[in-house]
Structure 1
Amino acid sequence: MVWSTAEMPDQSGRTALVTGASGGIGLETARALADRGARVVLACRDMERGLAAAARIGGRTEVVRVDLASLDSVRDAALEVRRRIDRLDLLVNNAGVMFPAYRRTEDGFEPHFGVNHLGHFALTGLLLGLMRDVPGSRVVTVASLAHRVAVAGPVPADVRTAGGYRSVAAYGRSKLANLMFARELQCRLADAGAETVSVAAHPGLSATGLWHDEAPAWLRPVSSAALRWLGQPAAGAALPTLRAATDPLVQGGAYLGPGGMSECHGGAVPARSSWASRDVIAQIRLWELSQELTGVRYARDAARRADRQPVVEAVR
């Protein structure tokens, strides 16, 4: 049986936060969770778009502003969330940029790495205290097929690269960082005995707002053809995220994606990942680098052994 939103358990009594929920896959993720009864916080950079999305979704939805390109904004958003709620069942790290027009974040980071990875690393660390002791709580981080473009995880030399960088490679490294972060987080949560698990997903190909005019000129005809023949609507692309977020059979450390041709479309199933994403030493180094750059250290962070076996990629 192909997994669909019809398989989603009732979400009544659960509180979820979804970044980038004003449009595309984030909006569809938030809509499905709200339709199942969850209280959903839409974490959006543009408050006007966020409020419009909340009005369309209905149910128990609310909006908090967060600009993942600014660590100050991330800290302010985390404070606001903690002011409003005392527990969080689900955090969906969905927002991202692809080929942005600006060349550095507010804090001086390369934008793909700064927004897609560091912003979510900081937000997760600042909110994890609301989740650690909540049975069934999950952190879902949205990666991408593009993680396979990167042959190694981000290193300090990549952090503030500005003019002249190759945006496709930079995007791929940031999505590899997302997947490495999700796996390292799972290991640390398990070592600490936390109730929370960490899961990753990727949407395949979908014609969302990330594919805009800032894409390199050589890539536009290629991406247009790929989206036309292999892509799927945002509602379909959200299925791996939704299964990762709600399926009780999904274990910590799982990675889900579409089951169709080349994992570009189709139902949500266990996905393949690159060798680089399973490099334990690189995961630890990325974690330490991320702590240094964001100033966010995770409370009750268990010591991590470099000889530990990689987490399991499976749905039982």
Structure 2
Amino acid sequence: MADQKKDSTSTSTWTAASLPDLSGRTAVVTGANSGIGLVAARELARAGAHVVLAVRDEGRGRAAAAQAGGSTEVRRLDLADLASVRDFAAAWDGPLDLLINNAGVMMVPQQRTPDGFELQFGTNHLGHFALTNLLLPYVTDRVVTVASGAHRWRGAAIHFDDLDMAADYNPQRAYAQSKLANLLFTLELQRRLTESGSPVRAVAAHPGYAATNLQSHAGNPVMRVLMQAGNRLIAQSDRAGALPTLYAAVEDVPGASYVGPDGFGEFRGAPTLVGRSRAASDPEVARRLWAVSEELTGVVFPVETGAAGPSAGTRV
């Protein structure tokens, strides 16, 4: 899968209007109160799905739901806090067709989650790792995890000897590690789903360079100014940035595939299958990361998946 060629099938005309009728289907979108998460929630609801906006701030979530329209509800979820993740999953009941792991933090100053993890790794990877495994018994179709071209950045790696990068913290390297982890998670999740005979698919997507408020939270003020300038001059809109996520959620793409923009450098363009770095395609590193993630979160891959019932999986 490393640096695979893009899908030869043209997707240049694929837009949110290409979504099929999703009536009767349920989707969870994490971080759905702004940016590409809000756009994804709005378009899924417009296509007929019942969309759960999983957000930290319920007030902002309700405002976002009002924008989304359609059949929506808001539930609190703080991915940086494993207790919140467990509460969200424990309250779930009934089939879940689409789980979209979209929420994230980007290049923030060194911080710790309530569980003691480096904030970007804890939120972007471990939070979604725990959420996905706890909800898998209910998932009927697929899990879409939003990664980033940052997984290709120079020096991007999983620092198993210091996952929190406590010895030499760098916001950019910590973000790249978390986004690489997203792709390795998808790779190993699909292997486990296939091995267990589950029909559920794990897919990853990235928005290219999309103008959202994620960049405004970068800790380095110089980097923040540069990214804000990039938002104005280079980036595509959040509406366009959400298309790879939506494409990955509904189109017949292979498990463990990766969807991104088809333009130069994958910065912008229509959604299509794209390649990933060799580091993001290493099955042994993916398995090791999975084992470490289970140890850190106390959450394991469920015995059964896609059974839409609380007795189908293992909950910790």
Aligned match for 2:302, one of 294, 299, 302:
299
Aligned match for 1:141, one of 138, 145, 148:
145
Q: What's the C-alpha RMSD, in Å, of the aligned pairs?
A: 1.7
Q: Which runs of 4+ in 1 moved over 4 A?
A: none
Partner amino acid, structure 2, of 1:94: N
Partner amino acid, structure 1, of 2:27: A
**CA positional deviation for 1:186:** 0.7
In the aligned structure 1, how far is the partner of 2:217 from the partner of 2:187?
33
> What corresponds to 2:107 in structure 1?
99
Matched, 1:195 2:199: yes
> What corresponds to 1:268 in structure 2?
271
Aligned match for 1:71, one of 82, 102, 111:
82
> What corresponds to 2:262 in structure 1?
259
The range that moved more, 291-300 or 148-157, is: 148-157
Give 1:1-316 correspondences, 5 Å limit: 1-2=11-12, 3-80=14-91, 82=92, 85-101=93-109, 103-131=111-139, 134=140, 137-149=141-153, 151=155, 153-162=157-166, 165-247=169-251, 249-300=252-303
Contact 1:153–1:286 (8 Å) recurs in 2? no
Contact 2:165–2:174 (8 Å) recurs in 1? no
Count of residue pairs the alignment pairs up: 294
Q: Which string of whole-angstrom CA distances, capped at 9 and with x for unpartnered residues, describes residues 260-286 of structure 1?
A: 121011100111211100011100000
Partner amino acid, structure 2, of 1:111: L
Q: Which string of whole-angstrom CA distances, capped at 9 and with x for unpartnered residues, describes residues 170-195 of structure 1?
A: 00010000011011101110111101
In the aligned structure 2, how far is the partner of 1:128 from the partner of 1:50?
24
In the aligned structure 1, how far is the partner of 2:78 from the partner of 2:300?
20
Describe the SS at the equivalent of 1:11.
Answer: coil
In the aligned structure 1, how far is the partner of 2:189 from the partner of 2:294?
13
In the aligned structure 2, how far is the partner of 1:176 from the partner of 1:34?
30
Unmatched tracts of structure 2, length 5 or more: 1-10, 306-316
The range that moved more, 171-180 or 209-218, is: 209-218
In the aligned structure 1, how far is the partner of 2:227 from the partner of 2:121?
22
Describe the SS at the equivalent of 1:18.
Answer: strand
Describe the SS at the equivalent of 2:212.
Answer: coil
In the aligned structure 2, how far is the partner of 1:223 from the partner of 1:33?
29
Residues 45 and 213 (structure 1), Cα distance of their counterparts in 2 relative to 1, 3 Å cut: closer
Residue identity (%): 51
In the aligned structure 1, how far is the partner of 2:202 from the partner of 2:83?
25
> What corresponds to 2:314 in structure 1?
none
Partner amino acid, structure 1, of 2:270: G
**CA positional deviation for 1:56:** 1.6
The range that moved more, 149-158 or 270-279, is: 149-158
> What corresponds to 2:308 in structure 1?
none
Contact 1:150–1:173 (8 Å) recurs in 2? no
Describe the SS at the equivalent of 2:106.
Answer: coil
**CA positional deviation for 1:163:** 7.8
The two structures have a TM-score, normalised by structure 2, of 0.89
**CA positional deviation for 1:221:** 4.4
In the aligned structure 2, how far is the partner of 1:265 from the partner of 1:111?
28
**CA positional deviation for 1:156:** 3.4
Residues 163 and 27 (structure 1), Cα distance of their counterparts in 2 relative to 1, 3 Å cut: farther
The two structures have a TM-score, normalised by structure 1, of 0.89
Contact 2:45–2:72 (8 Å) recurs in 1? yes
Unmatched tracts of structure 1, length 5 or more: 303-316
